[in-house]
Amino acid sequence: MSNRRGLLIILSSPSGAGKSTLSRRLRDWDPTIAFSVSATTRAPRPGEVDGQDYHFMAQPRFKQDVAAGEMLEHAHVFGNFYGSPRGPVQAAIDGGRDVLFDIDWQGAQQIRNSALGAHTLSIFLLPPSIRELHRRLETRGQDTPEVIAKRMEKSWDEISHWDGYDFVLVNDDLDTTEARLKTIIEATRLRRSQQPGLTAHVRALQTEFEEMQ
Ligand code: ADP
Ligand code: 5GP
């Protein structure tokens, strides 16, 4: 077994608060962090790559995968289905790698309540203001005004679940938020439950201690 157990790192926020930007930065910082590529029934946006940003699939296939127990969690968001495929997550954490999830509060809740809940670190990002959230969605330039309006309308529903998370960060200055995320991850990796090798180490210390008596 690896000396370290993989962490399931969940990032949630209302759309536009900075999840994708920060998850990109975290993966550049530590390329051993695996990204959980979600399955979705929504259409790809320009520039999105199948298998990299999402596994794009039709609804019947998505429902089949859910019925077969192949999704660690799944939810209906903005009129589409989204889910986290279980296989790659299990393989990564068994190998001692952390997995990063960009998922909504429903998915976060399901993972927290699953058998992997003890190995979960959940972080919620709040925007500095609603006005700034709107500005970020507009400057991202990916969505039509109608889609932006829909995302803004849903943002309060997502924000209202902020208190179910282990950590909450106001993503004002991007570099500051990035540094705080790294601190949180590094500290959580040292949680007793994340270090399966500790028991053997303490046993070895005990043997050494007794031999010296
Ligand atoms: P999400 O993945 O949560 O929908 P994004 O990461 O796509 O959000 O961020 C939305 C937009 O806001 C992007 O254009 C991104 O560059 C910008 N952004 C993210 N964080 C900040 C920040 N702290 N300050 C200013 N702009 C930011
Ligand atoms: P988008 O369509 O902008 O990529 O994502 C819309 C919302 O769906 C975001 O809040 C994102 O976090 C959430 N989401 C993406 N993938 C998943 C997933 O696998 N499970 C859940 N529960 N939510 C997801």
Q: Does the residue 143 lie in any domain?
A: yes
Both tokens assigned to 132: 């700034």
| Nearest ligand, CA 110 | 2
- Nearest alpha-carbon partner for 20 in 112, 94, 102: 102
Predicted structure pTM score: 0.94
Q: Does the residue 138 lie in any domain?
A: yes
Give the residue, by CA position, lying nearest to ligand 1 atom 11: 136
- Nearest alpha-carbon partner for 127 in 11, 14, 8, 12: 14
- Nearest alpha-carbon partner for 174 in 136, 117, 201: 136
Q: Which residues contact ligand 1 via a Cβ below 6 A?
A: 13, 15-21, 136, 139-140, 171, 174, 177
pLDDT, one tens digit for every residue, the chain (213 residues): 457 899 999 999 999 999 999 999 999 999 999 999 999 999 998 889 999 999 999 999 999 999 999 999 999 987 899 999 999 999 999 899 999 999 999 999 999 999 999 999 999 999 999 999 999 999 988 888 998 998 899 999 999 999 999 999 999 999 999 999 999 999 999 999 999 999 999 999 999 999 999
Q: Does the residue 148 lie in any domain?
A: yes
- Which structural domain range is residue 164 located in? 8-36+97-211
Q: Does the residue 200 lie in any domain?
A: yes
| Nearest ligand, CA 77 | 2
Q: Does the residue 185 lie in any domain?
A: yes
The number of folded domains in the chain is 1
Q: Does the residue 72 lie in any domain?
A: no
CATH code at position 201: 3.40.50.300
Q: Does the residue 86 lie in any domain?
A: no
Cα(77) to ligand 2 centroid in Å equals 7
Cα(54) to ligand 2 centroid in Å equals 10
Q: Does the residue 83 lie in any domain?
A: no
